[in-house]
Amino acid sequence: MSGDTGYDSHQHSRVCSLGGMDYTQLGRSGLSVSRLCLGTMNFGPETSEADSHAIMDRAHEHGINFFDTANVYGWRKGEGITEQIVGRWFASGGGRRERTVLATKLYGSMGDWPNETRLSALNIRRACEGSLRRLQTDYIDLYQMHHVDRATPWEEIWEAMSVLRYQGKIIYVGSSNFAGWHLVAAQEAARRRHLTGLVSEQSIYNLLTRWVELEVLPAARDYGIGLIPWSPLQGGLLGGVLRKQREGSGSRSTTGRSEELKANRERIELYEKLCADLGEDPANVGLAWLLHQRGVTAPIVGPRTAAQLDSSLGAVAITLDADVLARLDELFPAPAPHGAKPAPEAYAW
């Protein structure tokens, strides 16, 4: 399980002619996924079903084969609105399901009764069956735990996941919002059962939020767990927010982040100037920076429109040289007094 110290997903990257998209393997698995992952959280609450279907079609046109959702998305408890939208898109045929690496998540509450949340064996079974019905498919490519469950032993979790895998209902297992030591605990428990364990971890990761570099990312690299960054633009703050304000085209995604913007305004201004000097959109530079980080599989982009999806494709083609990467580190330093180093060197000798 371990012993793969210094695992580098970039060594498996390859270019495909499908929309010019790059692909890599998900962690140490043999599964090929696009370097951008389509996030569906806006489908339903922000984006109509018709527009959501158009975005997914456009993603396939661009060669994006990796889609991420969750049973709680749609934010009406127990309904799984977003999964239903994705499921009806699959049901429209045309090879949509077959071309998609489908990732969904469980943990969040799907009802008011006990055992309708978290990671008990009972809820894992029920949640999977519910997602399969809503998604109108008979298998999930990547079944992710949306959060760590401190109350359920790993032996129970892995037994339940193994049953689903043996039944053909899931293929790979991933995590989300785990600490570094949670990844270790999960993998060592899987090792004891001679299981593959986790192949991916979803964490918040962007230039403004680099905490995963201390322990999560090093642990993921060592175990061959592919990192899937969510909120890669910190809710729009790295997507050209100041330029959009000047143009009067501010995004709703930055609503509620006024204090964070105020605290970071000076360096965001310098960041946007650097991007302008490069001739690149700030959002694409933010995504490209993540794609340059060893161990990152695919940042999640969550467009509300097809045009937003189109604009993000440029990130894959951007190469940031050493000088630009160093400048970004100056503007957005790693969260440690000793610079961009993993723990314990980040805070100790």
Q: Cα 152 from chain centroid?
A: 24
Average pLDDT (245-253) is 76
Q: What is the pLDDT of residues 300-339, one digit of tens each?
A: 999 999 999 999 999 999 999 999 999 999 999 998 777 7
Closest CA to 204 of 169, 245, 246, 233: 233
Residue 340: Cβ within 10 Å count: 13
pTM: 0.93
**CA separation, residue 19 to residues 16, 53, 65, 108, 269 (Å):** 8, 18, 11, 35, 33
Closest CA to 296 of 2, 4, 34, 16: 34
Burial 183-201 (b: 16+ CB within 10 A, else e): bbebbebbeeeebbbbbbb
Q: Kindly list the catalytic residues.
A: 73
- At 151 the pLDDT is 97
How open is the CA angle 336-339-340, to the nearest 5 degrees?
A: 100
Q: What is the CATH number of domain 9-239+281-324?
A: 3.20.20.100
pLDDT tens across 148-189, in order? 999 999 999 999 999 999 999 999 999 999 999 999 999 999
Q: Which tokens in the block code for residue 180?
A: 């570094």
Catalogue the E-assigned strands of 69-204: 101-106, 140-145, 170-176, 198-204
Average pLDDT over residues 246-263: 81
Extents of the domains making up the chain: 9-239+281-324
The H-or-E segment that residue 66 falls in is strand 66-68
Average pLDDT over residues 196-224: 98
What is the tens place of the pLDDT at every residue in 10-33?
444 554 546 689 999 999 999 999
- Residue 234 φ/ψ region, left for φ over 0, alpha for ψ in the -120 to 50 degree band, beta for the rest: left
